[in-house]
Structure 1
Amino acid sequence: MIFFIWCRLAKKVNCLSQRMMRFNRMLMVKQYGVYLMKFTRNALFQFTLLLLFSISNIGHAQTQIEVFTDTPTALGNVPGIEVIHYDLSVPERVKEKYLPALPGDIDRAKQIMKTYLASAQGMEFQKAIREAYRGHEKMVQYQLEKIPAVVFNQGQYVVYGITDIQRALALYKSHRNLEEAP
């Protein structure tokens, strides 16, 4: 394409054969979407594009709810909504399950922990503790002030003090309706 433009600017029409010039024009036409514009005149093609784009956006319209608690809590399901539960007491349970009892001697405790963390069980503990603190990371990221909290749309909206998803969703929707009203 650059060579074709240079030839036009230099007015050296004979530098390329007519066939090569047509090929370059076709590349330019395809690159700038003229072929697409010719096809979009067809109503059936426009309808198909509209349908494809609307179907691909259905998955993105789904609301995500994240619930933060400090105890194991059974949460209900809401059709079409992804619910993620972060139990902030999990790290303590992971520590109780995996960590060995340590002696009072600091040097001996350091040696035991160093050996433990290098073992297969220690590696499993490290993986489990990272996963257990994911809720704490999200809580800091969303700057949550207290728990329980129900978070909508990656921290845009927060309902404090309840874990009932249906009730939190109703509060969220009523707030959104008030926000959208003129």
Structure 2
Amino acid sequence: MRAGRGSQRIILAAWLALPTLLSGPLLADPVPERIEVFVAPEQAGQVSGQGAIEARYPGLPIQVFDLGAAAHFEDQLSEGLSADPATAQAQVRQRLQALGPEIEARLREAFGGLVRADQLGIERLPAVVFDDGQAVVYGVTDLPTALSHYRRWRDGP
């Protein structure tokens, strides 16, 4: 059985429109591969919208770095140290040894954000970084707002 000329046009139109239909949502909703958020200690509680982003894009890695974590860790280590430098040094060594196997994780948590911010060339805080530095949104702690800025950048003028 042979299709009529009218139905051939409809099939041809559908085939021609298929690439546009398939690529449309992808272009309209660019999703980053990774989001990293860098905040000062006083901004740590201001990061918002992470749950909404995670719900919409399950599996999207989002990491928040409080760049005050290193100072907080150092404060904990130095609390109540002796005024004598040699004794203080021994006390710090003892405290670090007492952390045992968790020392590596604690150091990474405390100083990892500072190292990563330096690697990415973060200039000021807060900063939301997309795709390992491909785009940075400064001055925003609301992740959906930052994602909106990212999308406008990706979509171009």
TM-score in same-fold range (> 0.5):
yes
Provide the C-alpha distance between the structure 2 equivalents of 1:82 and 1:131, rounded to a whole number of angstroms.
16
Match of 2:87 in 1: 108
Provide the C-alpha distance between the structure 1 equivalents of 2:105 and 2:122, rounded to a whole number of angstroms.
25
Gaps of 5+ in 2: 1-30
The reply to whether residue 134 of structure 1 matches residue 112 of structure 2 is yes
Match of 2:39 in 1: 69
Letter of the 1:116 counterpart: R
Distance 1:83 1:127, change over 3 A: closer
Q: What are the superposed Cα offsets for residues 110-161 of structure 1, whole Å, 9 maximum, x if unpaired?
A: 22223333x3236545541232211111101101111100100011110111
Distance 1:143 1:130, change over 3 A: same
The reply to whether residue 163 of structure 1 matches residue 133 of structure 2 is no
TM-score by length of 2: 0.64
Match of 1:11 in 2: none
Distance 1:62 1:151, change over 3 A: closer
Distance 1:150 1:158, change over 3 A: same
Instruction: Describe the SS at the equivalent of 1:101.
Output: coil
Letter of the 1:67 counterpart: V
Contact 1:94 1:125 (8 Å CA) reproduced: no
- Identity among equivalent pairs (%): 31
Provide the C-alpha distance between the structure 2 equivalents of 1:62 and 1:162, rounded to a whole number of angstroms.
17
- How many residues are paired up? 118
RMSD in angstroms over aligned alpha carbons? 2.3
Offset of 1:98 from its aligned partner?
A: 4.5
Of 89, 93, 96, the match for 2:68? 89
Provide the C-alpha distance between the structure 2 equivalents of 1:167 and 1:114, rounded to a whole number of angstroms.
44
Match of 1:176 in 2: 154
Greater relative CO (CA pairs within 8 A, separation 6+): 2
Contact 2:38 2:64 (8 Å CA) reproduced: yes
Of 123, 137, 149, the match for 2:127? 149
Provide the C-alpha distance between the structure 1 equivalents of 2:95 and 2:101, rounded to a whole number of angstroms.
9
TM-score by length of 1: 0.56
